[in-house]
Chains A and B, each alone.
Chain A
Amino acid sequence: MRIKSSTVVMTLYLLFLLIPIYWLINMSLKTNQEITSGFTLFPHTFTLANYATILTDPSWYNGYINSIIYVTMNVVISLTVALPAAYAFSRYSFMGDKHLFFWLLTNRMAPPAVFALPFFQLYSSVGLFDTHIAIALAHCLFNVPLAVWILEGFMRGVPKEIDETAYIDGYSFGRFFVKIFMPLIASGIGVAAFFCFMFSWVELLLSRTLATVNAKSIAATMTRTVSASGMDWGVLAAAGVLTIVPGALVIYFVRNYIAKGFALGRV
């Protein structure tokens, strides 16, 4: 039997991608004793204790709850403000539109490290430090421009005649937008929501800077536990595996649009 070279290439590449992930899962199912005492390719003493630790200890599972709360808030805020703006950019030319669009882009490209300290002071001074909304608003810095860009790319694919017909039929702007236009770009909204979710979920620097206890994200929980207790590799690996799960679940729904989202709707 002849094996195609492309199959070989893809197999090698996927192995390269999956082996480190396998290693993490492998570690998460071992006892700490097994991890430190010897080198094993698969767990000999299979244990779920590491997962049990995370799911029963509030300082661990609160991290997940906090992350999910601020990520959800961020997705809702980003999409609410980005939808009308993207419509304006895709349909109208107005004074300063190009400059505004470019300015939004610069925020996507702004290094979070530059903003960490000023955010800390800004949110402390308005009494929002260590709240979910503070992190959600901070993540808007890069998610709102991203959402505007992706949605604009999808919206320009919708013919303008649809808008005009709707206005002739007597639709008000609001009713047209919600009843007709939003269903037309539903996949675009889904993709934008997915990308906002994703970038807010993976971000560490700002979420760590803006929260200490009440809104502490899972990412921050992980880094601090490493420095505090030193070598609890099993629990750390289990926590890592659990952070991959939500992304892996939602990726299924957007699998055909991932590239379009990354290309800011321009494929």
Chain B
Amino acid sequence: MDKTQNNKAWFLVLPVLVLVAFSAVIPLMTVVNYSVQDTFGQNDFFWAGLSWFEDAISSDRLHEALWRQILFSVIILAIEVPLGIFIAMNMPKSGFWASLVLILMALPLLIPFNVVGTIWQIFGRGDIGLLGHTLDAMGIDYNYTNDPIDAWFTVIIMDVWHWTSLVALLAYAGLQSIPQAYYQAARIDQASRWSVFRYIELPKLQGVLLIAVLLRFMDSFMIYTEPFVVTGGGPGNSTTFLSIDLVKQATGQFDLGPAAAFSIIYFLVILLISWVFYTVMTNLDKQETF
């Protein structure tokens, strides 16, 4: 759609600008302020320059948390995206069952993050949880509070449980928008199921899948509450992701300077990814209109 050039539209945007400036810019400035200062007491600050940033960039702790975070996000995407597409292709297309399945699938998305954590915390326990009990009964030594591998397994399966439906719902909406004529043409050409998927469905799903991948990437990159409730970042530091580590530093130890420097680096990483997201998405929007 052609848009009218009108700078008075700024007045319509002004309320959002003021509100978001209050709740984003001022706090961010506070963080920047802390990141270049050191403190020994209540209000006794002095200039520390960029030393916190140098410390943060070279600290093993940040590197480990970052690698853990990247590994987690990659595993999550590798499982949830193909599984989500697969589920979407098997969902009923219309009628009562379609509505019911939609509602049931959306249910995990609406559960408060800490309750998701609680559910899996209970579900995975050997003494009172179905999953833990079943695995123990099968002779598998499963204990997510002691064993790092089991903790990772629990956190990952929890995230798959929580968010695969999102990918599936998006892919489902994308599949619904493909005209029947495409499938008829493919049938005339005697295309196999695989080539229908590869050459018709996948290209048509490109837009929604991009949104799904990036939403899942962002949200898994900032995950805090669910692993915090289930494992508390343990055993040891094995499930301490970036956000958990940051909150530990900022509110647990009150290391304001390092925590602030950490925050800014974290935020810049997210900003970079958001920029890629935005650029790709606006390009896709343009393609649609031409």
Contacts and interface: CB of A to CB of B under 8 A. Distances in A.
A141 interface: yes
A95 B8 CA distance: 10
Most buried by A among B28, B104, B111, B277: B111
B225 A111 contact: no
A226 B122 CA distance: 12
Interface string A93-131: 111011010101111011111111111011000000000
A205 B247 contact: yes
A27 B128 contact: yes
Contact of A116 (B99, B130, B133, B247): B247
Given A20-B161, A267-B208, A85 B15 contact: yes
Interface in B15-70: 15-17, 19-20, 22-24, 26-28, 30-31
Given A10-B101, A39-B127, A23 B119 contact: yes
A91 B270 contact: no
Contact of A262 (B19, B24, B30, B169): B169
B211 interface: yes
A255 B173 CA distance: 12
Interface residues of A, number: 95
Contacts of B165: 17
Interface residues of B, number: 99
B142 interface: no
A79 B275 CA distance: 25
A248 interface: yes
A113 B224 contact: yes
A18 B104 contact: yes
Interface in B227-254: 229, 242-244, 246-247, 250-251
Contacts of B109: 198, 258
Nearest to A120: B251
A115 B177 CA distance: 39
Most buried by B among A202, A237, A255, A262: A262
A145 interface: yes
Contacts, number: 284
A5 B193 CA distance: 14
Most buried by A among B19, B110, B247, B259: B110
B267 A223 contact: no
A148 B16 contact: yes
Interface stretch (A53-61, A178-186, A239-247): A239-247
B152 interface: no
Contact of B16 (A81, A160, A244, A266): A81
A81 B19 contact: yes
B224 A92 contact: no
Contacts of A92: 3-6, 9
A84 B31 contact: no
A198 B246 CA distance: 25
- Sorted nearest first, the 4 A-B pairs with minimum C-beta distance are A247-B110, A118-B27, A259-B173, A88-B12
7 contacts: A10-B101, A85-B12, A110-B24, A113-B222, A117-B250, A202-B110, A202-B112
